[in-house]
Amino acid sequence: MLRRAREHGYREGFVQGREQGGEAGYSVGLEQGKEDGHRQGYEQGLASGRHESLAKVNLVHSALTACWQELSEWRDACGRELDEQLVSVVRLICQQVIQLELNIRPDGVRALLDHALGLLPQTDSASIRLNPEDRVYLETLNLALPDQWQVTDDDAITAGGCILSTPGGRVDAQVEARLAVCIAELRKSLGLPDANGNGE
């Protein structure tokens, strides 16, 4: 009887232990499973969210980069166009100032001739082509030009300019040529191509 009671107690304890162990194991396993599942779900969701967000950010970045590139190209084109307009305005102003200066101070022809003569080697024979208006003024200056020098009227030369030729060289001191040199320097300083489209 004692033995039976012990076996019975042993069986009951086994059954009860199994039930309690099963319930406890189930509770612990359920909690662990929930935690593991939550952690895995969180990590997968986070990775998936990062991947989707990165894809969207890359898409927006590409669109912004393309917009920035177009804006930069437009800005550069506008800058070049404004520079070209600036050169045109400066050319027009220079032409007006030169004409005004020539009207106010026709003695500029003498300074121009002195400068042009200084650029050429000394010679006894030379040819000066200038506008008829300047020829009249030149005659009033009573310059002591050598007899072998030839002064020729040329309606194609703008008043205030001349072309001086000697056996040793030629100086083009026409108003347009001097203005072209100034405009070329302005274009160069602005980084624009020259009149022939070279450079930048």
Q: What is the pLDDT of residues 107-139, one digit of tens each?
A: 666 666 666 666 666 777 888 898 888 887 777
87 by Cβ neighbours in 10 Å (0-12 / 13-18 / 19+) ranks as: middle
* pLDDT beneath 70, residues of the chain: 5, 9, 13, 17, 21-22, 98-121, 141-144, 195-200
Q: Which two tokens stand for residue 32?
A: 């662990």
Q: What is the pLDDT of residue 153?
A: 93
Residue 136 identity: V
| Distinct helix (H) and strand (E) counts, the chain | 4, 4
Domain ranges of the chain: 106-189
Q: Which two tokens stand for residue 148?
A: 């072998």
Q: What is the pLDDT of residue 196?
A: 65
Q: What is the pLDDT of residue 52?
A: 84
CATH 3.30.2320.30 corresponds to the domain 106-189: yes
